């Protein structure tokens, strides 16, 4: 559309044609766009799911000698799957943010039911 002489979209004309990897806007939607807002909404939604997962771990887990709450993956899966089918993805996000700890890269239902998840 930027090169289209019949386009009257001023938004496109005011934006530089190409951004480069060093540019802070590289890979980001235009500021104030609907795409940017959808991204912010999705980030907020996932954040709420992570919080909810942590609350469920606290509620269903057991407090260990070190004072930290732990639950097995099998128990957590059975409890949380009724709320969301994205248990593993939310667990990975929570670990990325330093909220939980568990061994291994990925957790699989059945195979990893005995893996302990610790709430940090």
Give domain status of residue 18, yes or no. Answer: no
Alpha helices in 29-85 (DSSP H): 34-60, 73-80
Residue 65 in any domain: the answer is yes
Where in the sequence is the domain holding 89, given as residue range(s)?
A: 34-119
Say what the pLDDT of residue 20 is: 77
Question: Is 23 part of any domain?
Answer: no
Q: How far apart are CA 12 and CA 34, in angstroms?
A: 15
CATH number of 39's domain: 1.10.10.1540
Residue 19 belongs to some domain of the structure: no
Q: Tell me the torsion sign for CA atoms 32, 38, 39, 42.
A: positive
Global pTM reads 0.69
| Whole-number pLDDT of residue 27 | 82
Rounded-to-integer distance, Cα 56 and Cα 90, Å: 12
Within a domain: 78: yes
Pairing of strands 100-101, 116-119: antiparallel
CB hemisphere CA count around 29 (13 angstroms): 9
Number of domains in the chain: 1
Whether 27 is covered by a domain: the verdict is no
Q: What percent of the chain has pLDDT over 70?
A: 85
In-domain check, residue 112: yes
Residue 1 counted as domain residue = no
pLDDT digits (tens, 9 = 90+) for 85-99: 788 899 999 999 999
């Amino acid at each position: 559309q930027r090169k289209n002489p019949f386009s009257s979209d001023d938004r496109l004309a005011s934006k530089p044609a190409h951004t480069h990897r060093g540019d802070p806007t590289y890979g980001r939607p235009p500021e104030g766009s609907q795409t940017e807002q959808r991204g912010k909404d999705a980030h907020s939604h996932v954040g709420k799911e992570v919080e909810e997962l942590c609350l469920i771990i606290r509620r269903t887990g057991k407090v260990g000698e070190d004072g930290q709450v732990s639950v097995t993956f099998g128990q957590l899966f059975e409890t949380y799957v009724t709320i969301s089918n994205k248990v593993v993805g939310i667990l990975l996000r929570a670990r990325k943010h330093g909220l939980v700890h568990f061994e291994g890269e990925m957790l699989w239902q059945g195979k990893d039911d005995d893996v302990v998840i610790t709430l940090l």
